[in-house]
A and B are shown apart, each in its own frame.
Chain A
């Protein structure tokens, strides 16, 4: 038997990575579908809008990544920046 880390793993196959990707979409869809069954008891009226936590999380993460890309343009320096002399 090959050592463990020489074996071929489930995630090594591209179609399985696709399954994970679409699985995340499916999970998000399910979490929206069950929302009418659960009352959210939020502290703010806007937090009770349909799917608020979902789309807020999505928008927050996309905004975070886009802003970080801009930040990188400003703060990125060569790896030896502090040791260059």
Chain B
């Protein structure tokens, strides 16, 4: 393996190691240069398999470069770059390093050719990313981070368990198509499903992401879940159950998004909904569907990062992203407002924005396979995502009633990062050919037909009409300061109560036990003390003469016994 055939992951991990030791402009230049260097490295990588090494007697494949892994590694590097620019104002030494290491781990994982290397990087994404949550330095963030890391590591353990079953059954750790029936297939499926935020396994995402720092959430939104999408596409393409799992994912979170007050949590729900589209594409498994999933992951990473950046800028300047507290910020933050609207138009799949050219491939694939119910659910979710991400986010933050809050525009580095990302969102939407050229399979799909554009515009315009009418009539639920119970309630509510009850029961048992054993031990000690304690039978001191006399008696007795 020559130096050129090295995963860009190592450059990012090395960059992360160096970053905390640099200061000021040197560190700023460094954290921007490292992802750029990674892009050059990726561009120079020839397709193929490199880094076959033996580890504990098993063959590993450290680096697999093909169309799937290049696409994901490339978009991860773009995300790392814009996130790094976005976080340049951060003075904390650890946070930018954690971001780079996290990006490096995710890139290492998509370029891994075997399950053990995948596992190692899989766990590294968890361990590095949690620091982006803890960097908020609040008690709330600390506890959310603890819940997050436990769930992420559990996913890794399941992956390891499945990988070892795979190894035992087939003698190989190679990561190719698995399917549910493969040895360890179900365990690995659930491991991927946790990171991909499957229904009921999802709530770590909405719990933890909104608690991270303003730039931490931008990093977080890009990597973990899309790594899971990549892994599912590689291992479980064409698995039928993914179609309905994905369909539930597109629809279920948007109800929560409508009533959620924390606007970054609204975005986390819509992130979950967008993952659903990708999962449906993987489940359908045709070339068009998988191309759609890959394309949608690419454009999604960018517009989702852009939306989180705009809300991060609001959080940074105003100190809150609660819908109840905001409104009218377009007066203070016109540029941020504009970039947010670009992100909102992209996620809503407006023609000429990135979501339009990628999401429609998945819908077209569902249509081509005659999956009418799935298609209707995806259309419902498309209308819904426009409703809560496309309209609600910009409306409540920047328009609505004027909250009277006045602040400065976002810092220059944030504006640059948002401008670059917004440019990419529009660029992909206007001219999708370069993205299509990167997709895993040859593309025979034309997004811009008169019928498709009209259908999409009708869907969006009438959704906007519904929002306007509901707002004007006062039917639309107002933003409220409240917590909405989700599946995390199971482990934050009853599980805590059950654990507490168990702990107190255990305490009672242990106390009773210790009283019992305490008494036994006390009795035992008393016996020992009687025997060996002060003046005890075994510890009495006797005069030497007496001992000598007793020895003489013993020896005499011995002699007598001998001669008998």
* Given A72-B259, A75-B486: A60 and B477 interface contact (C-beta under 8 Å): no
**Contact among A44, A60, A66 with B383 in the assembled complex (CB-CB below 8 Å):** A60
Report yes or no: B482 in contact with A79, Cβ–Cβ below 8 A. yes
- What is the CB-to-nearest-CB distance from B363 to chain A, in angstroms, rounded to a whole number? 9
Tell me the bound Cα distance from A76 to B480 in angstroms: 9
Tell me the bound Cα distance from A43 to B364 in angstroms: 8
Report yes or no: B477 in contact with A65, Cβ–Cβ below 8 A. yes
- Tell me if A15 is interfacial: C-beta within 8 Å of chain B: no
Q: Which of A33-54 contact B (CB under 8 A)?
A: 34-35, 38-44, 47, 51-54
CB-CB < 8 A to B452: which residues of A? 40-41
- Tell me if B539 is interfacial: C-beta within 8 Å of chain A: no
Report yes or no: B468 in contact with A24, Cβ–Cβ below 8 A. yes
* Given A55-B462, A57-B462, A78-B483: A34 and B454 interface contact (C-beta under 8 Å): yes
Tell me the bound Cα distance from A65 to B451 in angstroms: 28
- Tell me if B255 is interfacial: C-beta within 8 Å of chain A: yes
Report yes or no: B332 in contact with A5, Cβ–Cβ below 8 A. yes
Report yes or no: B254 in contact with A64, Cβ–Cβ below 8 A. yes
CB-CB < 8 A to B375: which residues of A? 43-44
Tell me the bound Cα distance from A6 to B407 in angstroms: 11
Report yes or no: A39 in contact with B463, Cβ–Cβ below 8 A. no
**Contact among A9, A68, A82 with B331 in the assembled complex (CB-CB below 8 Å):** A9
Report yes or no: B387 in contact with A61, Cβ–Cβ below 8 A. yes
CB-CB < 8 A to A81: which residues of B? 483, 485
Report yes or no: B483 in contact with A41, Cβ–Cβ below 8 A. no
- Tell me if B461 is interfacial: C-beta within 8 Å of chain A: yes
- Tell me if A1 is interfacial: C-beta within 8 Å of chain B: no
- Tell me if B484 is interfacial: C-beta within 8 Å of chain A: yes
Interface residues on B, range: 35 or more
- Tell me if B355 is interfacial: C-beta within 8 Å of chain A: no
- Tell me if B458 is interfacial: C-beta within 8 Å of chain A: yes
Tell me the bound Cα distance from A53 to B259 in angstroms: 25
Q: Which of B439-489 contact A (CB under 8 A)?
A: 449-452, 454-468, 470, 472, 475-477, 480-486
CB-CB < 8 A to B465: which residues of A? 24-25, 28, 58
Tell me the bound Cα distance from A78 to B482 in angstroms: 5
Considering only CB atoms, which chain A residue lies closest to B365 in the complex?
A43
Tell me the bound Cα distance from A51 to B459 in angstroms: 9
Report yes or no: B454 in contact with A64, Cβ–Cβ below 8 A. no
Report yes or no: A76 in contact with B406, Cβ–Cβ below 8 A. no
- Tell me if B399 is interfacial: C-beta within 8 Å of chain A: yes
- What is the CB-to-nearest-CB distance from B482 to chain A, in angstroms, rounded to a whole number? 5
Report yes or no: A71 in contact with B259, Cβ–Cβ below 8 A. yes
Considering only CB atoms, which chain A residue lies closest to B259 in the complex?
A72
- Tell me if B527 is interfacial: C-beta within 8 Å of chain A: no
CB-CB < 8 A to A60: which residues of B? 379-380, 383-384, 463, 466
Report yes or no: B483 in contact with A82, Cβ–Cβ below 8 A. yes
- What is the CB-to-nearest-CB distance from A59 to chain B, in angstroms, rounded to a whole number? 8
**Contact among B255, B332, B379, B402 with A64 in the assembled complex (CB-CB below 8 Å):** B255
- What is the CB-to-nearest-CB distance from B454 to chain A, in angstroms, rounded to a whole number? 5
Report yes or no: A62 in contact with B466, Cβ–Cβ below 8 A. yes
- What is the CB-to-nearest-CB distance from A82 to chain B, in angstroms, rounded to a whole number? 6
The CB with the most chain B CB atoms within 10 A, among A34, A51, A62, is that of A62
- What is the CB-to-nearest-CB distance from A61 to chain B, in angstroms, rounded to a whole number? 4
**9 sampled A-B residue pairs with Cβ under 8 A:** A4-B334, A24-B465, A39-B451, A43-B364, A64-B387, A65-B470, A68-B259, A77-B484, A80-B483
Closest 10 CB pairs of A and B: A43-B367, A61-B466, A68-B258, A54-B458, A40-B451, A5-B331, A57-B459, A53-B458, A58-B462, A57-B462
